[in-house]
Chain A
Amino acid sequence: MRAEQIGVKLGPRQVLSGASADFRPGEITAILGPNGAGKSTLLACLAGLRSPDQGQVWLGPDPILSLPARQRAQRVGFIPQSPEVAWALEVEILVGLGRTPHIGARGLSREDGEAVSRAMTSAGIEDLAGRDVTTLSGGERARVLIARALAGEPDWLLADEPLTGLDPGHQLDVAALFRTMAHDQGKGVIVTLHDLTLAARMADRILVLWEGGILSDGPPALALSSEVLARAYGIEARLTPSEAGLTIEILGRTP
């Protein structure tokens, strides 16, 4: 998947201007950047849900917007930021919605049912199958929604702030789930994140967005530096390599 010179205007504001990046399957890419840097906008462009004003996103040899919606949905799964679930659906039915791009006129086939139970197993939510979604805790809900995206068996999984609102334990669980998907199943995973330490810990590669472009791009240890953080977020931070990857200590605002 390749983003080529993406430019997006939201009203009078140029949110993205000429952002380019290549994404590889089998790795987790975290998109970082301050509020309003265009993380979600870029992700929506990558998912083919928004057409950029300039540039385009390529999925393999095709511009993603040239693919029929159904075909695109089979290949690219997307989890929106704080996703809504409108009705008191059973977990299994909700996960089954992930099969929407695959099902024919006759409804869910046996193959669809198998994909749904595989997705529920890999997200570790088999025991929630009959539960009403509205009764789930935040952590359970996050895993159910990831299972929903997995059920479609996409090659690419894009998630907009999937860790926001989760406690540290559940953040690690969900991060581990993304790692399995990328490293063991070979899917390309792209997430937007706010938590720097978590990003450094879970991602194979980090993109920092700033002022509509890409400020730095590479493995966490290279992409994140005190200069980058000072520039993007306006913070002073000390970065020390550690067991978990990179420990980022935030000292204060830059003067």
Chain B
Amino acid sequence: MPRTIVPIGPYHPLQEEPEFFILTVEGETVVDIDLQIGYNHRGIEKLSERKTYDQVTFVVERVCGICSTSHPFAYTQAVEDLISVEAPPRAKFIRTIIAEGERLHSHLLWLGLAGHFLGYNTIFMWAWKLREEILDVMEILSGNRNNYAMFKVGGVWRDIQAQDIPQVLKKIESIIPTLEKLKKAVIDDPVLHARTKGIGILSKEAAIDYGAVGPTARASGVDRDIRKNCPYGAYDQIDWDMIVTQNGDVFDKVVIRINEMFESIKIIQQCLARLPQGPIDCVIKDIPPGEGIGHIEAPRGECFHYVRSDGTNRPVRHKIRAPTFMNLPTFKETVIGGTISDAAIVLAAIDPCYCCTERMAVRNRKGQTLWTGEDLIRLSQEKTAQIKTQMGQS
């Protein structure tokens, strides 16, 4: 059967971010996939070497808009590991609350998009409406709906006021019934079963071999969660369950994320109820030479930061590894052999985040002619022709 190449991207109405998939299909079946990334490469690791330790917290917050807590969290953990200090208990609880709030809104965002990819826009509307409630909660707690700016090395910037807690708890509890309804609508829906069950299966062995993390790995039966295995923040003082499923298909990834949202609500409720008194940060005079590692469980999996210091006020090296960097290559396992109509949802099932993965240089074209619409069409056609010749077609 003749092979055809279907390019998806770099700009495509279905994707929120620029990435370029090259699908090779035989009829309906995908036989090969290649991926080009780098459209979002902003050089944050290099930028980080020119900023002071306090400034880097805000730079890494802007690695990604959705996980704007995960990166500062992992970074502050890394610097605290470097200088061997721990944040005060109250700060740990506040950090946990913010991180779980972020997980809630991130999972809801993904659920909405997954529904949208399947052509099930009701879920999209419901999930995103629910997400607004979470964003309101985050606004009460941090003053921002996104990019919360709560983290600093050695603690947090902003305290949670006692008079805000009842209001937050009320809002969090009010979303539970809607979330239950949403869960039922998603998990019992025969159409969703048909579209997601047995599709895009990632085996346990492959998940381990690819080093997959987070919900992507846990859906394949890999029972690893940084919050449980390598506890940080307040996770070891709170009662919650790790969610693991065994099938590794898209449906299991949906189930994992929905169930994790209930766990997140549990964690936030307990944290708010048991919020210890005391200071919210500790004084850090200077950073000694040395190195530190911080890793935390972001909504998409483990986020890993490595910081090296030479005793000055700027890091010499700061390595950022976002969860999608490990999860993205599993496409080779999940997409090949399936049909092209399933490719979109399988590609979305790991909840990819490209700005995290690439973290990097906007090239200025100032003073030069800007691209016109015709130029862009021509560029796109040239690129397609180029790929075709590369793949041995004309």
The answer on A and B forming one complex is no
Binding site for B on A (CB under 8 A): none
